[in-house]
Amino acid sequence: MVTGLQADMTVEYVLAQWPETAVVFNELNMVCVGCAVAPFCTMQDAAVDYDIPLETLLTRLNQLIAPATA
């Protein structure tokens, strides 16, 4: 069982597993929700594309889903 988000997970997978993460993507002004390349874009790719440190993105997302993965 996956216990948190990882850099190699796709945006589509993250949103499918934890729909509540859409809030974080939106707060960071990322247009990942509903994006056509979400099935191919990893968390690492998204962080680079939006000039957001990967650690920041993963931390925010993992904090949100922590109760669900505990």
pTM of the model: 0.87
Cβ neighbours of 1 (radius 10 Å) = 3
Q: Pick from 46, 8, 6, 10: which is nearest to 28 by CA?
A: 46
Q: How far is CA 11 from the centre of its chain?
A: 5
pLDDT in tens, 17-51: 999 999 999 999 999 999 999 999 999 999 999 99
Q: Which residues of 3-26 are buried (b: 16+ CB within 10 A; e: fewer)?
A: eebeeebbbebbbeebeebeebbe
For residues 48-56, give the mean pLDDT. Answer: 96
Tokens of 43: 């968390």
